[in-house]
Amino acid sequence: MASLKVYGKAYSANVTRVLTTLAEKNVDDYQIVPIDLLTGGNKTPEYLKLQPFGQIPAFQDGDFTLYESRAIARYISDKYEGQGTALFGKTVRDKVLVNQWLEVESQNYNPCVWKIVFECVFSQMFEGRPTNEAVVKEQLEKLEKILDVYEGQLTHHKYLAGDLFSLADLAHIPVTNNLINVAKKGELFSSRKHLNAWWEDISSRPSWQKVVQIMQAEQQEQK
Amino acid sequence: MSITLFGTAGSTCTSRVLTTLFEKQVQDFVLKNVNLAKGEQKKPEYLKLQPFGVIPVLQDGDLTIFESRAIARYVSDKYEGQGTPLFGKTEKERALVNQWLEVESQNYNPVVSSIAYQLVFGPRIGLKPDEKVVEQQLQKFEKVLDIYEEHLAKNEYLAGNFFSLADLSHIPYTYLLLHQAKKGEGITSRKHVKAWWDKISSRPSWKQLLDLRAQS
């Protein structure tokens, strides 16, 4: 029986952030325990014992429980340091830059992108109301400025923290997939040469491809 | 003296870094004031260091780092051998520190900084507070604090029974909420959250930060 458990569903970008990290570290001996937001699986007393904020994912390694996808990703990177992709680079400088761009994702990129995706795709499902176009417009303006900075950075470096793929790039993949493929805002990327090349590169990695298959299989099961 | 920190002692995010430096007993650095009122953070020379045009930025030799939480990690790692250990002692303790750093980042800070924007930062640039937003965010905050209260009833600090960067990371914005936004009832009305707040905000590192602010 796998001692690693990921609680959640693959439709969640936060869950797939963890699944992609596991794949990058060549860890496939884990179990996904379905916790569905749409059926309130995240509000049961049992689940709230694991994740008191009622969010997905939660993660267990044996009897050790952890939550927050970025913290779980760090734990996996550390535990499996000796295998798979080195997700924090090789040097002190690499690690510093990975941490920096992880925070940029956390503080600047994700909040903005998530608001756009939520309004365009999930407002009806989760809040029973149509898209607030004013919010989308405001957040798109913000995002354009942020993406200009990314374009500048990626003009000089293949990846965010330098010449090596890292957890900083990985952290962006799930929510960018939502932005481009679900909310259909791909022109934000296709209009920026280096940003687009970076996206093409990181989203074609075997780890993400594997997670896409998990997402598709889950969707099939629902039917 | 290899470290230069660009920012202001009055800024919440710069304070996160300053408090970390003090907690690690690093006194040997230069704080270079960035004149926000004059828009210095949007000028080309500053944007070369921090392309998003916000403070702080830290330079250590030829290394330039931005994002206060990333800078705080760097300081914790570089000065691992001195001052307070900020990531616990074991792998699991470290993981829990990272977890609560993310809780601060994802659940706590967005709500508090939204209230701060409405009541403190917005008014500074002539904006009127949107009371509806403040009310919504305060309601959200109550739910978050209920979880903190239950957790802190069983743990002295967030990641366990040791002070860590996760607790520290909460200090600057919580202080602003209490003392500038004057919306601290959520904190002060909860027994264990209040006890935690009193403990972490009376640490010498935070006192040193407040002294620095008073002098600035």
- The pLDDT of residue A222: 79
The CB density around residue B25, as the number of other CB atoms within 10 Å, is 13
With an 8 Å Cβ cutoff, are B98 and A74 in contact?
Answer: yes
* Amino acid at residue number A185: K
Average of pLDDT values for A63-76? 98
With an 8 Å Cβ cutoff, are A78 and B91 in contact?
Answer: yes
Where residue A126 falls among pLDDT bands split at 50, 70, 90? confident
Residues contacting B81, CB < 8 A, separation 6+? none
Q: Which one of A66, A108, A111 has the shortest CB-CB distance to B52?
A: A108
Where residue A191 falls among pLDDT bands split at 50, 70, 90? very high
Residues in chain B predicted with pLDDT less than 70, given as ranges, are 1
B192 touches chain A (CB under 8 A): no
In angstroms, what separates the C-alpha of A220 from chain B's closest C-alpha? Answer: 31
- The pLDDT of residue B1: 64
Average of pLDDT values for A114-133? 93
DSSP for A38-69, please give it.
GGTGGGSHHHHHH-TT--S-EEEETTEEEESH
- The pLDDT of residue A1: 54
Q: Which one of A79, A99, A153 has the shortest CB-CB distance to B73?
A: A99
The CB density around residue A83, as the number of other CB atoms within 10 Å, is 11
Q: Which one of B70, B94, B150 has the shortest CB-CB distance to A103?
A: B70
Q: Which residues of B touch A78 (CB under 8 A)?
A: 91, 94-95
Give the span between the Cα atoms of B61 and B175, in whole angstroms. 32
With an 8 Å Cβ cutoff, are A70 and B98 in contact?
Answer: yes
A103 touches chain B (CB under 8 A): yes
B202 touches chain A (CB under 8 A): no
B181 touches chain A (CB under 8 A): no
Mutation pick from B86, B105, B145 vs chain A, by most beta carbons of A within 10 Å, is B105
Locate the DSSP E strands across chain A: 4-8, 30-34, 58-61, 64-67
With an 8 Å Cβ cutoff, are A53 and B103 in contact?
Answer: yes
Token pair, residue A130, equals: 């149509």
Give the span between the Cα atoms of A107 and A100, in whole angstroms. 10
- The pLDDT of residue A2: 66
Token pair, residue A96, equals: 């510093």
| B3 contacts B30 by C-beta, under 8 angstroms | yes
Does the CA dihedral A114-A93-A151-A84 come out positive or negative? negative
- The pLDDT of residue A197: 98
- The pLDDT of residue B216: 87
With an 8 Å Cβ cutoff, are B151 and A52 in contact?
Answer: yes
In angstroms, what separates the C-alpha of A204 from chain B's closest C-alpha? Answer: 28
Q: Which residues of A touch B107 (CB under 8 A)?
A: 53
Q: What is chain A's percent helix, strand, coil content, to nearest 5?
A: 65, 10, 25
B69 touches chain A (CB under 8 A): yes
Give the span between the Cα atoms of B72 and B165, in whole angstroms. 8
Is the bond preceding residue B56 a cis peptide, omega within 30 degrees?
A: yes
Which residues in chain B (37-66) have CB-CB distances under 8 A to chain A? 51-52, 63, 65-66
Helices B109-116 and B165-179, axial angle in degrees (round to 10): 20
A76 touches chain B (CB under 8 A): no
Q: Which residues of A touch B52 (CB under 8 A)?
A: 104, 108, 146, 149
B127 touches chain A (CB under 8 A): no
- The pLDDT of residue A125: 84
Kindly report the average pLDDT of chain A as a whole number. Answer: 96
Q: Which one of B66, B94, B99 has the shortest CB-CB distance to A68?
A: B99
Q: Which one of A71, A79, A108 has the shortest CB-CB distance to B98?
A: A71
pTM above 0.80, yes or no: yes
Give the span between the Cα atoms of A142 and A135, in whole angstroms. 11
What is residue B123's three-state secondary structure? helix
